């Protein structure tokens, strides 16, 4: 998992997808200039992506019952990509008996 990507659980509803984009952009607006984010003074320009990932989290835990993921009726796992310039991978680990 890359440091600017997120995995989270939520409802797969178009309005929520739109609301999250607006909300995250308000909290951590994209600005490549070094004047806004100290991280961008290192030669990178993706400080906002790091902040967005921090807000959304990096992992989910889902119980498995009788071989099926234990989700609520509207829950799904989502992958959030906040700095899409590099190839990424997702790791799935299953821990248990």
pTM value? 0.86
The domain spans of the chain are 5-81
Mean pLDDT by runs of 10 across the 97 residues of the chain is 88 96 98 95 96 95 92 94 82 82
Give the per-residue SS3 of 15-77. Answer: HHHHHHHHHHHHHCCCCCCCCCCHHHHHCCCCHHHHHHHHHHCCCCCCCEECCEECCCCCEEE
Quick one: pLDDT at residue 26? 98
Quick one: pLDDT at residue 93? 87
Q: Which CATH architecture has domain 5-81?
A: Sandwich (2.60)
């Amino acid at each position: 998992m890359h440091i600017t990507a997120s995995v989270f659980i939520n409802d797969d509803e178009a309005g929520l997808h739109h609301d999250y984009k607006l909300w995250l952009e308000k909290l951590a607006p994209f600005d490549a200039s070094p004047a806004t984010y100290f991280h961008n003074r290192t030669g990178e320009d993706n400080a906002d992506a790091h902040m967005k990932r921090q807000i959304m989290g990096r992992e989910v835990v889902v119980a498995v019952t009788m071989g099926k993921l234990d989700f609520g009726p509207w829950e799904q796992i989502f992958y959030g990509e906040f700095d899409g310039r590099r190839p990424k991978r997702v790791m799935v680990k299953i821990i248990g008996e």
